[in-house]
Structure 1
Amino acid sequence: MNNQIWFKNLKKFFKQENLKKFFPKVNMSLDEKLNSIFRLSIYITIILIFITQNIEFISVIVLIGLLTYIIYKNKNKKDFFTDYDYNYVQPTDDNPFMNILLSDYIDNPNRESLNKKPNVDLNIKKLIDKKFSKNLYKDFSDVFEKANSQRQFYTTPITTIPNKQNKFANWLYNRGPTCKEGNGEQCIKNLHNPLYDLDKKNFKPLYDI
């Protein structure tokens, strides 16, 4: 879904595929819910002005817009970090590991990808732990947070619809041009580098070629 708050990208906010998203859902992030509420206020205001012929109802849009702005700013200070990029999918209470949900294929086919930037990895991890542990029963033995089923739940490699299977396969198996194909760097890597017995002063190879 649209993970960017409305006042940061009005063009995306008024895109045709987003116009029908005017009611908050459980699987939405807070930004998406704020966008839905603000979009709903616009629709209600238009209907009221059309029925009553009173332009003063435009104040509803202003008030709701201001309210969503305040909530967003307070949330930003409380839960997130200054270097977090809101153009990417983020952990939520209902989907802390940011995986693709079955409902996304219908409700959110254009969902954003997972943020892979190294500088936010630690922040994302902290946020995942926070969302995953919310309302989770714990006792005094959970001080190391190793008893919360973390091994069974994880973020999958694919986070977009449709998946980037070719790109993922290239990342796994594509070794690039070989030495025979003119890759000089690979030729250097192919040079033999024998293991040495560090226990001996003469550093003789552990095996003969």
Structure 2
Amino acid sequence: MDKKFWLNNPKILFNKEKLLEIWPYSHLNYNEKMNATTRFVIYTSLLGYVFLNNYLILLLGIVIIVSLLLIYNYNIESFDSANVGTLDEGKHTSKNPFYNVLNTDYVDNVNKDKLREEYNQNKETEINHQAKQFIYETNKSNKDIGNIFNNLLDNLNFETSMRQFYINPITTIPNGQDDFLNYCYGNLHSEKPLLIY
């Protein structure tokens, strides 16, 4: 389902499958929690206005929604999760930030696309963002997870921990074995056939 914040697509608030999702449960991601809280404020404001016939309740609901927007913008900036447009957008996920070939890809993703050759600052930023998202997702139960990566020491430790991970040169299935053999043995002077390979 769509996991965007309602400010990007207001129709999400009134999606018939999500109309009853009005409480920010722990299994929801941050955007879904904010959407659920906004729905709750809208519903309670409308019910309060209908039963009490007081426009101040609607005004209070609007003030709370504006406060939610401010909180959302503040948290997005502190999480450093701005949308980063990269050349390989959508390939780097929090489960596989480097887009390396996984053992499960041989069954689930046999026609895996090749990763583009360019490695630049945008790609590094996207990989780091997805790795941080993985940390956030796996530590949902930690109430202080939002405070991570807020200071220089945390970011330095993160950079240090990322140095042993890298993108493998082969990102397709099957890999470029024929090209590799051609590179290694190209035109053999002995003209021996390579039947053993």
- TM-score of the pair, normalised by structure 2: 0.52
> What is the 5 A alignment of 1:55-74?
55-74=55-74
Contact 1:196 1:205 in 2 (8 A): no
Q: Distance in 1 between matches of 2:64 and 2:74?
A: 15
CA 1:28 to 1:133, structure 2 compared with 1: closer, same or farther past 3 Å?
closer
**1:75 counterpart = 2:71:** no
- The one of 125, 129, 139 equivalent to 1:123 is 129
Query: Partners in 2 of 1:26 and 1:84 — Cα distance?
Result: 26
Task: Tell me which of 177, 185, 189 is aligned to 1:196.
Answer: 185
* In structure 1, C-alpha distance between the alignment counterparts of 2:183 and 2:5, rounded to whole Å: 57
Poorly superposed stretches of 4+, deviation over 4 Å: 142-146, 192-195
Change (3 A) 1:97 1:50: same
| C-alpha distance after superposition, 1:104-145 (max 9, x if no partner) | xxxxxxxxxxxxx9843332023324554685xxxxxx9976
Rg comparison, structure with higher value: 1
- State how many pairs are aligned: 133
- Residues in 1 aligned to 2:192 and 2:56: alpha-carbon distance in whole angstroms: 88
Instruction: Give the CA RMSD over aligned residues.
Output: 4.1
The within-5 A match list for 1:43-122 is: 43-84=43-84, 97=95, 119=123, 120-122=126-128
Partner of residue 106, structure 2: none
- Distance in structure 2 (CA, Å) of the matches to 1:13 and 1:75: 20
Amino acid at match of 1:8: N
1:24 partner amino acid = P
Amino acid at match of 1:204: H
Q: Is the 8 A contact 1:97 1:128 kept in 2?
A: yes
2:18 is the counterpart of 1:12: no
Using the alignment, how far apart are the partners of 2:78 and 2:68 within structure 1? Answer: 15
Query: Any stretches of 5+ residues in structure 2 without a counterpart?
Result: 97-114, 117-122, 143-156, 163-171
How far the C-alpha of 1:21 sits from its partner, in A, is 0.7
Please report how far the alpha carbon of residue 20 of structure 1 lies from its aligned counterpart in structure 2 after TM superposition.
0.8
> Per-residue CA shift, 1:77-117, capped at 9, x if unaligned?
111332348xx8xx9xxxx759xxxxxxxxxxxxxxxxxx9
Structure 2: which amino acid aligns with 1:196?
Answer: Y
Q: What does residue 109 of structure 1 align with?
A: none
Gaps of 5+ in 1: 99-116, 136-141, 147-170, 174-188
Contact 1:21/1:36 (CA < 8 Å) preserved in 2? yes
Alignment partner of 1:40 is 2:20: no
Q: Identify if the C-alpha distance between structure 1 residues 17 and 208 changes in structure 2 by more than 3 Å, giving closer, same or farther.
A: closer
| Structure with greater helix share of residues | 2
Structure 1 equivalent of residue 193 of structure 2? 208
Deviation at 1:50, TM superposition (A): 1.1
Deviation at 1:208, TM superposition (A): 3.4
